Amino acid sequence: MSKYPPFDNVKMRQAVLKLADQTAFMQAAYGDDTSTYRTGVGVFTPGSPAATDVGLAAVTGPRSLDAAKRLVAEAGYKGERVVIISPTDYPWLEAFCQVTRDLLLQLGLNVDYQASDWGTVVQRRASKEPVDKGGWSIFCTGWEGLNTADPGGHYPILGNGANAWFGWPTSPRIEQLRTDWFNASDDAARRRATDAIQAAVWEEVPYVPLGQFFQPAAMRTTSRACSTARSRSSGTQRRDRAAPPVEVGALSIRLHIKACCGSVGENTRIGFAIK
């Protein structure tokens, strides 16, 4: 996956997944009101045809610091610096990055937490250089639900190396499964492909999903323009009312433990990417 230590070793990525607690990430950003977020979120947007329970214990099972530390030891970690790039002007992403920092410190990693504005994060995440030349190791981000509802537009799982999303993981296995999904002739074949993709993500860890949140929105009942626009976009006539919530949740390591987004339609998910 990643070209650079320490996350070029799959056991290091598996260690992060083993310890990442979706509830801790959601609570850090959104508090204790569980109606605003969802945990137990896998690779694909909950509620989408691709969503599956295959191997979901990877994110819902007990978190184990001892097991995660064993993976770090087996990987032969040599104290390489791990750079987290965190945006200070997006409080929810900053909260995710702070939880990520704590997670990595528990694993005994050499963490370099670099906070800046989102524009600087966006510029820096485009760098394919190692950390000593301005590169990065981990950032957190979010996706809208439709982006991660199936393998077609799910950027975090792309495994085509230099042409993949930030983190640029290489996974011929996942790419072949994506091809199988595109070529599937029926729902059963598509289900086999998405089940296999989720299983592969738990093994290879190109990114780590962190959960899903619901962002409430509201419109004034006297605003006819909003009602008309929404009716046109949906092809139906609708009364003015509170808009449905938006969902978010995920995280990225370079390899790319990144943020994924929530449920289908007007929803978003979050995660982090590993390089």
20 domain residue, yes or no = yes
Question: 20-24, 31-35, 72-76, 249-253: lowest mean pLDDT where?
Answer: 249-253
* pLDDT confidence band for 262 (50 / 70 / 90): very low
Return d(Cα 181, Cα 254) in angstroms, integer. Answer: 26
Contacts of 60 (CB under 8 A, 6+ apart): 39, 40
What was the pLDDT predicted at 216?
73
Instruction: Answer whether residue 248 shows pLDDT above 60.
Output: no
Note the pLDDT tens digit of each residue in 12-22.
999 999 999 99
Global pTM?
Answer: 0.84
5 domain residue, yes or no = no
Residues 68 and 19: beta-carbon distance below 8 Å: yes
Instruction: Answer whether residue 78 shows pLDDT above 80.
Output: yes
100 domain residue, yes or no = yes
Amino acid sitting at position 124:
R
For 79: left if phi > 0, alpha if psi spans -120 to 50, otherwise beta; the answer is left
Question: How many domains, in total, are found in the chain?
Answer: 1
What was the pLDDT predicted at 237?
34
The mean pLDDT of the chain is 85
104 domain residue, yes or no = yes
Mean pLDDT across 49-71: 97
What was the pLDDT predicted at 215?
77
Amino acid sitting at position 96:
F
Beta strand 268-274 pairing with 252-254: parallel
Instruction: Answer whether residue 223 shows pLDDT above 80.
Output: no
Instruction: Answer whether residue 105 shows pLDDT above 50.
Output: yes
In the block, tokens 């530390």 appear at 69
Question: Residue 100 maps to which CATH number?
Answer: 3.10.105.10
What was the pLDDT predicted at 240?
38
What was the pLDDT predicted at 218?
74
41 domain residue, yes or no = yes
What was the pLDDT predicted at 266?
38
Mean pLDDT across 189-208: 98
2 domain residue, yes or no = no
Q: By C-alpha distance, which of 158, 162, 159 is closest to 148?
A: 158
Beta strand 243-246 pairing with 138-144: unpaired
Instruction: Answer whether residue 267 shows pLDDT above 60.
Output: no
What was the pLDDT predicted at 125?
95
For the purposes of burial, counting CB atoms within 10 Å of the CB of 210, is it exposed (0-12), middle (13-18) or buried (19 or more)?
Answer: buried
What was the pLDDT predicted at 270?
66
Containing domain of residue 87, as a range? 10-274
149 domain residue, yes or no = yes
270 domain residue, yes or no = yes
* pLDDT confidence band for 137 (50 / 70 / 90): very high
What was the pLDDT predicted at 269?
60
